[in-house]
Amino acid sequence: MTLGPLLLLSFVAGLVGALAGMGGGIVLIPALTLAGEDIKRAIAVSTISVIATSSGAASAYVRDHVTNLKVGMFLEMFTIVGAIAGASLTVASSTRPLFILFGLLLLASWTALWVQRNRPWQAPATQDGLSRWLELDGAYDDQASGRHVVYRATRAGIGGPLMFVAGLVAGLLGIGAGALKVLIHDLVMGLPPKVSTTTSNLIIGVTALAGTSVYLAAGMIDAGLAAPVIVGVTIGAFAGTRILLRVSNETVHRVFRWVLFVLGFEMIVRGLRGGG
Amino acid sequence: MNGTGFVESASDRMDTIVGTLLLGGVLTSLALIIAGLTWRWLATGHTASVLDETLAGHDVVELVGADLRALGQGAVRPRLLISLGIVALLLTPYLRVLASMLFFAFVEHNWKYTAFTAFVLLVLTYSLVLR
């Protein structure tokens, strides 16, 4: 592909990904393969662009003191090992299973977004010994309600190993796997939603670096492809997040969720037909 | 802000350091890559086929070494800018972990978290360099 179309495609992928409430990679990888790019190269390049999008987003949240650095740094120990394992699997794998897995991932994300309801956050009643020893607690100022929210995380002993799986998926498919991480923070560890999304952003950057290192060593990262993709996706995701803050219309989000569904279906069909 | 006592303000300071580092790294990387792509576009006049060079078999140390040698020879070319931009991007989370480890060790004297971040740093260093 030439530079112009590549920049445009990456920009749109970043924009649509952010509008659907996901990262850039989830639309970028199917889009690159539709444009004729090899799926393994698309995954490798997406992984490196995830470092840029997540670090950019994380920087603002960290400075607003919403991100919990301790929770992030504890869980990173699990995600980076998972990412290295996942990326190594992709390097060794043939393309067909990757198409099918990615398609299933898109359908799963679509389902997760579909059934997602705005449950009110309930603070866990007690903090277990391990989580207390790990100092997994914190406080932040909620800008929407103007309240000072104090919280304690729990079940670190289950959350940690589960984050290995989130890292594995991230490394394997070249995405941030933010939705999976948020799910673990929310449902298992009882973090407030704002803390779980912002902390997930912090973890995603380091996890993507671990995955990138494997793809770099395997010679799968092409500077000519990576450069425009990094620029396009990052600017697209930034624009998408800005738009998302203003557009609260549920039907708009629904339209973009259907994009995930169609792409997922299409990837599975291509995988079953032979991964071309 | 939400500063209540010394411990809180120390972690606030860490937030500022980490946040600034992440933002600075990403902006530096994007600026270098955009400069490289623009220069290349202006110099060649066409956008057809981007650089064909992969960063094949490179680990990060070799990559940085090659970039620095080229810089030393004054051979600043679009490709070098792009390569430096990618290196800046890779170093961003790495330096974030390094800075957190130093902060946990020397400012907060929190040995538990110094050990955790040291583990992350060790795994990243191994996977980036020792292959």
* DSSP per-residue string spanning A50-74: HHHHHHHHHHHHHHTT-S-HHHHHH
Of B16, B59, B92, which is closest to A51 when you measure between CB atoms?
B92
Q: Which residue of B has its CA nearest to A226?
A: B86
pLDDT at A77: 96
How far is the CA of A181 from the CAs of A72, A186, A195, B15, B103, in angstroms?
Answer: 11, 9, 12, 21, 26
pLDDT tens digits for range A78-101: 999 999 999 999 999 888 889 999
**Chain-centroid distance, C-alpha A74:** 18
């032979």: which residue's tokens?
A274
- At A116, the pLDDT band (50, 70, 90 cuts) reads low
Please answer whether residues A101 and A229 qualify as being in contact, where contact means their C-beta atoms are separated by less than 8 angstroms: no
The span from the first CA to the last CA of chain B, in angstroms, equals 45
Residues of B in contact with A176 (CB under 8 A): none
Chain A residues whose CB is inside 8 A of the B21 CB are 59
Least confident of A59-73, A217-231, B68-82: B68-82
Which pLDDT tens digit goes with each residue over A136-185? 988 888 877 788 888 999 899 999 999 999 999 999 999 988 888 888 88
CA-derived radius of gyration, chain A: 18
Give the start-to-end residue ranges of the domains of chain B. Answer: 6-129
Longest Cα separation, chain B: 59
Chain B residues inside the 8 Å CB shell of A217 = 57, 59, 127, 131
Tokens of B122: 């060790």
Residue B5 has pLDDT above 90, yes or no: no
Which of A210, A220, A231 faces B124 most closely, judged by CB atoms?
Answer: A210
Q: What is the per-residue pLDDT for A252?
A: 63
Percent composition of chain B: helix, strand, coil (DSSP 3-state, to 5): 75, 0, 25
Predicted local distance difference test score (pLDDT) of residue B55: 56
pLDDT at residue number B4: 45
Range in A146-160, A235-249, A253-267, B70-84 with the lowest mean pLDDT: A235-249
**Cβ-proximal residues to A259 (8 Å cutoff; 6+ apart), any chain:** A16, A20, A27
The residue that leads in pLDDT, A122 or B12, is B12
Q: Which tens digits make up the pLDDT trace of B23-60? A: 999 999 999 999 998 888 887 765 544 454 555 446 67
Q: Is the pLDDT of residue B80 over 90?
A: no
Which pLDDT band holds residue B6 (cuts at 50, 70, 90)?
very low
Instruction: Tell me what pLDDT residue A161 has.
Output: 94
pLDDT at residue B54, rounded to an integer: 52
Mean pLDDT score across all residues of chain B: 81
ipTM: 0.88
